[in-house]
Structures are given as C-alpha cells and as structure tokens.
Amino acid sequence: MAAPLRRILRNRFLIAGFLFVLWILFLDEYRWLGQAKVRREWRLLQKQKSYYDSSIRVMTLEKAALESDTLLLERLAREKYRMVKPGESVFWLLDTVQAP
C-alpha cells in the first residue's frame, strides 16, 4: 500500500498539476470564489438594468400622454404641483380622521 502512494508522491507532474489547480482555485487573481462574487454582482446589475429599462418605457409613455393631452397636463399641475389659475381660490381639505 505504501509503494503506490510513494510512487504517486514522486510523480512531479502530478504534484505540479495539483499545485496548479490549487493556485487557480484559491490564489490567483481570477480565483474561483472571486468569479462567483463577480457573477452575483453581474446578475444584480442585470436586474437593475431591466428595472430601469422598464421605468424608462413607462416614463416615455407618460411623457407622450402629457404632451398630447392638455387636460391631463392641467390636472397633474394642479394635483402634484398645486398650481392655480389667477384669481382662483383653492381650499385644501385634510383627509385625516381624528380618534375620539
């Protein structure tokens, strides 16, 4: 049993190959664990890219709707930016319910 083990340990090509694999897996700049981290970050960035692409599509549609519909533009200006016409009085009602 000791003779085959001794013969394997004396094989310098096997030892060099084993050391090469260890170097690539754990010590190299592009090591296996580092590559796994890069792949995770890449997947996260792909998800963010798809989110932003869909947001851009939605905003483009909203922009086209605002450019073509003046009533929608006026409603948005009044609700979101609280704009009023000259000489117009605006009353703001609070929606909060007070507990007894």
Q: What is the pLDDT of residues 65-86, one digit of tens each?
A: 989 999 999 898 888 888 888 9
Q: Report if residue 99 sits inside a domain.
A: no
Residues 45 and 76 in one domain: yes
pLDDT over 70 (residue 12) = yes
| Residue 73 DSSP class | H
Q: What is the pLDDT of residue 78?
A: 86
Range of the domain at 16: 1-30
- Residues making up the chain, counted from first to last: 100
Q: Within this chain, do residues 25 and 45 fall inside the same structural domain, yes or no?
A: no
Domain for residue 48, yes or no? yes
User: Residue 89 domain-assigned?
Assistant: no
Q: Specify if 98 maps to a domain.
A: no
Tell me how many domains the chain contains: 2
CA distances from 94 to 15, 35, 78, 97 (A): 79, 55, 16, 9
Asked if the structure places residue 1 within a domain, the reply is: yes
- Three-class secondary structure of residue 44 per DSSP: helix
Domain-embedded: residue 2? yes
pLDDT at position 64 over 90: yes
User: Is 93 a domain residue?
Assistant: no
Mean pLDDT of the chain: 87
Residue 87 lies in a domain: no
